[in-house]
Amino acid sequence: MPGEHDFPHLKEAADRLGSRRDLGLAELRELLCHDCDFWHDEHEDDLECSCFKMLHVIVQRGVLTPEQLAAALGPEEPTSEK
Protein backbone atom coordinates (compact mmCIF):
# COMPACT_ATOMS: atom_id res chain seq x y z
CA MET A 1 0.00 0.00 0.00
CA PRO A 2 1.43 3.40 -0.93
CA GLY A 3 2.22 5.94 1.72
CA GLU A 4 1.51 9.64 1.80
CA HIS A 5 4.99 10.35 0.43
CA ASP A 6 4.07 8.59 -2.81
CA PHE A 7 1.48 11.23 -3.72
CA PRO A 8 2.94 14.61 -2.68
CA HIS A 9 1.15 16.65 -5.35
CA LEU A 10 -2.21 15.02 -4.56
CA LYS A 11 -1.79 15.88 -0.88
CA GLU A 12 -0.93 19.52 -1.65
CA ALA A 13 -3.82 19.89 -4.10
CA ALA A 14 -6.26 18.16 -1.73
CA ASP A 15 -5.25 20.46 1.13
CA ARG A 16 -6.04 23.45 -1.09
CA LEU A 17 -9.22 22.05 -2.70
CA GLY A 18 -10.70 20.50 0.46
CA SER A 19 -14.17 19.06 0.06
CA ARG A 20 -15.05 20.84 -3.19
CA ARG A 21 -16.89 18.80 -5.79
CA ASP A 22 -17.09 21.42 -8.54
CA LEU A 23 -13.52 21.06 -9.74
CA GLY A 24 -12.50 22.28 -13.15
CA LEU A 25 -10.50 20.11 -15.53
CA ALA A 26 -7.20 21.85 -14.68
CA GLU A 27 -7.83 21.33 -10.95
CA LEU A 28 -8.68 17.66 -11.53
CA ARG A 29 -5.49 17.16 -13.52
CA GLU A 30 -3.48 18.83 -10.77
CA LEU A 31 -5.12 16.62 -8.14
CA LEU A 32 -5.03 13.33 -10.03
CA CYS A 33 -2.25 13.45 -12.63
CA HIS A 34 0.79 15.26 -11.29
CA ASP A 35 2.12 12.30 -9.28
CA CYS A 36 1.88 9.95 -12.26
CA ASP A 37 5.19 8.67 -13.63
CA PHE A 38 3.89 9.48 -17.12
CA TRP A 39 2.82 13.08 -16.39
CA HIS A 40 4.64 15.92 -18.13
CA ASP A 41 3.55 19.55 -17.88
CA GLU A 42 3.65 19.84 -21.65
CA HIS A 43 0.91 17.21 -22.11
CA GLU A 44 -1.79 18.07 -24.57
CA ASP A 45 -5.02 19.10 -22.87
CA ASP A 46 -6.96 16.25 -24.47
CA LEU A 47 -4.76 13.39 -23.18
CA GLU A 48 -6.49 11.47 -20.39
CA CYS A 49 -5.65 8.00 -19.12
CA SER A 50 -8.29 5.56 -17.91
CA CYS A 51 -7.28 6.10 -14.29
CA PHE A 52 -7.89 9.83 -14.66
CA LYS A 53 -11.27 9.22 -16.26
CA MET A 54 -12.37 6.88 -13.44
CA LEU A 55 -11.13 9.17 -10.66
CA HIS A 56 -12.68 12.17 -12.42
CA VAL A 57 -16.11 10.51 -12.24
CA ILE A 58 -15.56 9.45 -8.61
CA VAL A 59 -14.67 13.00 -7.54
CA GLN A 60 -17.26 14.76 -9.73
CA ARG A 61 -20.06 12.53 -8.42
CA GLY A 62 -19.01 13.22 -4.84
CA VAL A 63 -18.17 9.61 -4.00
CA LEU A 64 -14.84 10.96 -2.69
CA THR A 65 -13.84 14.58 -2.14
CA PRO A 66 -10.26 15.66 -2.75
CA GLU A 67 -9.53 15.54 0.98
CA GLN A 68 -11.09 12.06 1.32
CA LEU A 69 -9.03 10.83 -1.62
CA ALA A 70 -5.84 12.17 -0.02
CA ALA A 71 -6.78 10.54 3.29
CA ALA A 72 -7.44 7.21 1.57
CA LEU A 73 -3.97 7.36 0.01
CA GLY A 74 -2.28 8.57 3.20
CA PRO A 75 -0.01 6.64 5.50
CA GLU A 76 -1.03 3.10 6.33
CA GLU A 77 -2.71 2.44 9.62
CA PRO A 78 -0.60 0.32 11.92
CA THR A 79 -1.71 -3.26 12.03
CA SER A 80 -2.43 -4.75 15.41
CA GLU A 81 -0.59 -7.88 16.41
CA LYS A 82 -2.69 -10.99 16.87
Residue 82 belongs to a domain:
no
User: How many CA within 13 A on the CB side of residue 72?
Assistant: 9
Range of the domain at 31: 4-72
Residue 67 belongs to a domain:
yes
Q: What confidence category does residue 5 fall into, taking pLDDT thresholds of 50, 70 and 90?
A: low
Residue 55 belongs to a domain:
yes
Residue 11 belongs to a domain:
yes
Amino acid 76: pLDDT: 59
Counting the structural domains of the chain, the total is: 1
69, containing H or E segment: helix 66-72
Q: What pLDDT, in 10s, does the model give residues 6-61?
A: 788 888 999 999 988 888 888 888 888 888 887 776 655 666 788 888 888 898 88
Residue 56 belongs to a domain:
yes
Residue 58 belongs to a domain:
yes
Amino acid 45: pLDDT: 62
